[in-house]
Structure 1
Amino acid sequence: MTTQLTRRSLIRAFAATTVAAAPVMANATGLLRGAGDIRKLQMYNGRAGENLNMIYWIDGDYIAPALEEVNYFMRDWRTDGVIDISINTIDIMAAAHNLMDTSEPYTLLSGYRSPETNAMLRSRSSGVARNSRHMVGEAADLQLQSRSVSQIFNAARACNAGGVGRYSRSNFVHMDCGPVRSWGG
């Protein structure tokens, strides 16, 4: 099911984000409200050769077995370690995907990273944070073949609900549920 997000529904979605209890995450969840009464996540994991096409929220309720499947799908493929992925991160990914109006699943490059995996990657690259949000299940590195890094970056930034990094040379966008910020070129 493809949901078209019109300018009017986008404005309504942003207007719906005035929830005082959680002003930052309200932006991402407000964008998802424009998608109807379900929230869906579509991803492909090339490392594991797995696909995920999952409704994880219906009528205000998260679906526990669906979230467990997302947790496993986003595992550290090097160690097979699994951790609970933040529902806020899942919501940001879904909201950004909805804004891009595509049926193509994200390609997941990195979800959860064990401390060992993060240390190994950090030893090979200066772009890996010592205290990466990947290690606590709060981040994902994603790409889409049908959208440019800039398009994905702009959609994620429009959610105004976490950290968004643009890695143009490596062809991916980092999304996390930390403080609202953006970086990269």
Structure 2
Amino acid sequence: MNNNSSSGISRRALLGVFAATAVTAAPSFSNAAGFLRGAGDIRRVKMYSGRTGEHLDTIYWIEGEYISEAVREVSLFMRDWRNGQAVAMDTRTVDIIAASHNLLDVSEPYMLLSGYRSPQTNAMLRSNSSGVARNSLHMRGQAADLHLDSRSVNQIARAAMACQAGGVGRYSGSGFVHMDCGNVRTWGS
């Protein structure tokens, strides 16, 4: 990637995105899938957890099909690390994560701060912070909080917002970006 880029999104990735979205005008659940179509016949997600020490680098979609074993692996990786509970993560969220990562043109894996949260964990976090939603999409397996050392919160958020596929929250003070497959919206600074 060119170090002169202020957005953190490579010119090559952006041109590929525009080409992919021009060709794939069919309606879909979100634009994230359109962004990924330009990436070829596979979708891959790369993350690590500082909480558990685990790493994930898996291809979860090939030639139009989700790989059920890989999707289960992603769901287990994104479990509530506080109590080990897991749910099936919404693949739309995984697609947004992968699409944003592709747009950022990095090889570094995301650091996962939070994926699925049990209602008990969400209530505990909510009692300690005003920034935790009562009906958080984390409790439905539809959200993730992510960080990259090599990119700023604003760069990651811009990549996620380019997908126009869900919610994007900037938490600059804490150094992470929230991505979900809910309604398209943005918040934070």
Q: TM-score, normalized by length of structure 1?
A: 0.94
Superposition map of 1:140-179 within 5 A: 140-179=144-183
Residue among 57, 63, 78 paired with 1:59: 63
Structure 1 counterpart of 2:3: none
Match of 1:18, as an amino acid?
A
Does structure 2 conserve the Cα–Cα contact (< 8 Å) formed by 1:5 and 1:98?
no
Residue among 7, 18, 21 paired with 1:11: 18
Structure 2: gaps spanning 5 or more residues = 1-9
Residue among 118, 121, 128 paired with 1:124: 128
Distance 1:107 1:6, change over 3 A: closer
Superposition map of 1:41-60 within 5 A: 41-60=45-64
Alpha-carbon RMSD: 1.4
Give me the whole-angstrom Cα distance separating, in 2, the residues matched to 1:131 and 1:148: 28
Render the CA deviation track for 1:68-96: whole Å, top value 9, x for unaligned.
Answer: 00000000011100100000000000000
> What percent identity do the matched residue pairs reach?
62
Superposition map of 1:108-123 within 5 A: 108-123=112-127
Superposition map of 1:65-144 within 5 A: 65-144=69-148
Q: TM-score, normalized by length of structure 2?
A: 0.92
Aligned length: 180
User: How far 1:15 sits from its partner (Å)?
Assistant: 1.6
Does structure 1 conserve the Cα–Cα contact (< 8 Å) formed by 2:13 and 2:105?
no
Structure 1: gaps spanning 5 or more residues = none
User: How far 1:14 sits from its partner (Å)?
Assistant: 2.0
Match of 2:91, as an amino acid?
I
Does structure 2 conserve the Cα–Cα contact (< 8 Å) formed by 1:75 and 1:112?
yes
Deviating above 4 A after TM superposition, structure 1's stretches of 4 or more consecutive aligned residues are none
